[in-house]
Amino acid sequence: HGQEPWWKAATFYQVYPASFKDSNGDGWGDLPGLISKLDYLDDLGVDCVWVCPIFESPQADMGYDVSDYRKIHAPYGTLADVDTLVRECHARQMKVILDLVVNHTSIEHQWFKESRSSKDNPKRSWYIWKPPRFDEHGNRQPPTNWRGYFAGSTWAWDETTSEYYLHLYAPEQPDLNWDNPECRAAIYQETMRFWLDRGVDGFRIDTVNKFSKHADYTDAPISDPNSSLQPAPEMWCNGPRIHEFIHEMNREVLAPYSAVSVGELSNTPDPQSVLPYVSAKRQELDMVFEFSAIRLGNGNLFGGKYSYQPFTLPTLKAMTSKWQRFIDGTDGWTTVFCENHDNGRAVSRFGDTSTHEFWRRSAKTLALWQTTMTGSLFLYQGQEIGMTNMPAAWGIEEYKDIEAVNFYNEAVASGDQARIDKTKHGLSILARDHSRIPFQWSEEPNAGFCSGEASPWMRVHDDCGTINVEAQTGDPESILEFYRGMLKLRKKHRNVFVFGRHVLLEPEDEHVWIYLKEEQGGDGASTRKRALVVMNFSREERPLLDVAAALGCEGEAARFLVGTDGVESKISSLKGWEGRIYCNF
Ligand code: TEU
């Protein structure tokens, strides 16, 4: 795979800048803080840093509401700090990508201020405006019955011109109208070329499949008879012109700069609809995040999101395999991840935090899972030390995210205690807040995230005295050192782990997860390199299958490669939450 682009075998690391490292004692992470930790990321084995939105923003949705794409939100630092970040990353042979949020802007963006000022403003059609409807009593109603992602209607009434504007997320996040060519040109120029000219290497593109809306703006079918608002993702996901827009963006900006692109693509469970985005010959995106596996446990889309749905290991395996295999035999590419800033912590959701020992073992097994999968690997800050969800004992006031707050308030407004309890329970597992609390650097006050005198913008985890970078550095048993080793191993055997074919074995086993990774091409099936990944996703000891037979080789040739317990275990059973890799090379 010598000719493969750099981003395929790369390890990406997502930084949530508000919570990574505060350098000036205001309790809010910043760019100088991030820069001071680049050696840490370099030592871990990171090749590319993805920084979540740092642009000027009123922070209605943590910077996913941008009021000026060419300015930095002051608490993060300055443009000069971004230049330093780019330089310091490149000096370490690391790349850096920014978050591109162009489905919507903030209501404070100049474009929107102009657009809302009058119906004949030149930027009026840069956003999506519609007249009201009226019910039989003559009451004003929004143009459609659509429910937005953060609860409530997707339409906000604007007095100035007596029309509604569309917002799929918060009312503070009006949707841009991609059908307007001047608007698209401004996006390419001001939000993309501006940063590429400053040396950034590409973008994670927010909500990339929602730029083209279905033009008819009709009501969504009733799926929730108890509500006047209905989920309507089919009205705005993968719309009629989406591939035209993404291809244009590629031709206009991404390709000329050789910029890497990873699109965030939700509500698209059908592989046939995902492939066109990532098929190389179509020249759209390099790769996308698909969320079926990471969304397990979420209730149905929209209103029911925080009604927790337990799931089994076979379901997780099936989801994983589906999205490992969907590029087989195509020219597409995929991503590997189990955490981000929009989901609860993986060890709390897919692992076991009931005891210290199970926490450590299961976090390492999750590491084994992630680092042996096909695609570009994305780690989320804190995953490498096994950071967990916020403690169950914390009150609802510790949840700061607009989505969590709105869903909770909606439940409270219903007056239905069962619904309130259900929502609280769901939030305790799934809320976006869990991944947004301060990073745990050390056992110092405020976990070393900010100075002891400062008050961090979110509460620091009670467990930061034991779960932190300092405690794990150099400890051969630690999650952090395990990640470090696995990231090296993944690259060393990239033909197997990064580029190999994934084959699921024993799909119905409720406790043990087993898959083969097989090098593609080569001289023939018998000499092809193969690895067998076996992971016990339960607390109890489980029998190990016949490894040599599963690898398709004679007993002598099956070799132990690595395991979560470190040294080779001769025991023919797996301890609770133990994982191992065997191979034929
Ligand atoms: O998220 C887009 C999105 O649709 C979901 O994945 C999101 O997590 C939400 O919880 C759905 O209920 C992206 C960003 O990752 C997210 O942080 C932003 O809030 C959102 O876009 C709006 O910009």
We report the CATH number of the domain holding residue 293 as 3.20.20.80
Look up the domain containing 568 and give its range. Answer: 500-583
Nearest CA to ligand 1 atom 14: 206
Residue predicted with more confidence, 46 or 568: 46
Instruction: State which H helix or E strand residue 90 sits in.
Output: helix 79-91
Task: Return the ligand 1 atom nearest residue 103 CA.
Answer: 23
Whether residues 309 and 385 fall in one domain: yes
> pLDDT at position 226, please?
86
Distance from the CA of 291 to the center of ligand 1, in angstroms? 11
Whether residues 128 and 200 fall in one domain: no
Instruction: Ligand 1 pocket test: pick from 16, 342, 343, 430 the residue with the most ligand atoms within 8 Å of its Cβ.
Output: 342
Contact, 518 vs 497, CB < 8 A?
A: no
Distance from the CA of 558 to the center of ligand 1, in angstroms? 44
We report the CATH number of the domain holding residue 125 as 3.90.400.10
Domain boundary among 454, 472, 490: 472
| Structural domain includes residue 97 | yes
Whether residues 59 and 88 fall in one domain: yes
Q: Is the pLDDT of residue 416 over 80?
A: yes
> pLDDT at position 96, please?
98
Going by pLDDT thresholds of 50, 70 and 90, the confidence category of residue 136 is: very high
| Structural domain includes residue 176 | no
Q: What percent of the chain has pLDDT over 70?
A: 98
| Structural domain includes residue 489 | no
Tell me if 290 CB under 6 Å of ligand 1: no
Whether residues 130 and 37 fall in one domain: no
Task: Return the ligand 1 atom nearest residue 341 CA.
Answer: 17
Distance CA 499, CA 372 (A): 10
Going by pLDDT thresholds of 50, 70 and 90, the confidence category of residue 280 is: very high
CB-facing half-sphere around the CA of 212: CA atoms within 13 A: 13
The DSSP code sequence of 287-345 is EEEE-TTTTTT--SSGGGTTS-----HHHHHHHHHHHHHTTTTSS---EE-S--TTS--
| Structural domain includes residue 162 | yes
Contact, 196 vs 254, CB < 8 A?
A: no
Whether residues 252 and 160 fall in one domain: no
Encode pLDDT of 236-261 as tens digits.
999 999 999 999 999 999 999 999 99
Tell me if 266 CB under 6 Å of ligand 1: yes
Q: Is 206 a catalytic residue?
A: yes
Encode pLDDT of 445-461 as tens digits.
999 999 999 999 999 99
ipTM: 0.97
Q: Is the pLDDT of residue 1 over 60?
A: no
Whether residues 259 and 394 fall in one domain: yes
Domain boundary among 166, 189, 206: 166
Tell me if 64 CB under 6 Å of ligand 1: yes
Tell me if 149 CB under 6 Å of ligand 1: yes
Distance CA 114, CA 479 (A): 51
Q: Is 264 a catalytic residue?
A: yes
Whether residues 303 and 329 fall in one domain: yes
Nearest CA to ligand 1 atom 20: 64
Whether residues 453 and 526 fall in one domain: no
Task: Return the ligand 1 atom nearest residue 340 CA.
Answer: 15
| Structural domain includes residue 175 | no
Distance CA 176, CA 211 (A): 8
Task: Out of 22, 264, 286, 518, pick the active-site residue.
Answer: 264
Encode pLDDT of 380-415 as tens digits.
999 999 999 999 999 999 999 999 999 999 999 999
> pLDDT at position 523, please?
66
Residue predicted with more confidence, 473 or 571: 473
| Structural domain includes residue 319 | yes
Average pLDDT on 371-376 reads 98
Going by pLDDT thresholds of 50, 70 and 90, the confidence category of residue 522 is: low
Distance from the CA of 207 to the center of ligand 1, in angstroms? 7
Nearest CA to ligand 1 atom 17: 342
Whether residues 310 and 339 fall in one domain: yes
Distance from the CA of 335 to the center of ligand 1, in angstroms? 18
> pLDDT at position 567, please?
72
Average pLDDT on 358-382 reads 98
| Structural domain includes residue 207 | yes
> pLDDT at position 134, please?
96
Going by pLDDT thresholds of 50, 70 and 90, the confidence category of residue 303 is: confident
Average pLDDT on 159-168 reads 98
Average pLDDT on 38-66 reads 98
Encode pLDDT of 178-233 as tens digits.
999 999 999 999 999 999 999 999 999 999 999 999 889 999 999 988 899 999 99
Cα 362 to its chain centre, rounded Å, is 21
Contact, 154 vs 199, CB < 8 A?
A: no
Whether residues 350 and 466 fall in one domain: yes
> pLDDT at position 566, please?
81
Whether residues 68 and 135 fall in one domain: no
> pLDDT at position 571, please?
73
Q: Could you give the number of structural domains in the chain?
A: 3
Nearest CA to ligand 1 atom 11: 149
We report the CATH number of the domain holding residue 566 as 2.60.40.1180
* CA-based nearest residue to 305, from 247, 369, 233, 242: 233
| Structural domain includes residue 406 | no
Tell me if 99 CB under 6 Å of ligand 1: no
Q: Is the pLDDT of residue 17 over 90?
A: yes
Task: Return the ligand 1 atom nearest residue 169 CA.
Answer: 22
Tell me if 342 CB under 6 Å of ligand 1: yes
Tell me if 302 CB under 6 Å of ligand 1: no
Whether residues 197 and 267 fall in one domain: yes
Nearest CA to ligand 1 atom 1: 207
E-assigned strands of 73-214?
95-100, 129-130, 133-134, 140-141, 155-158, 163-166, 202-205
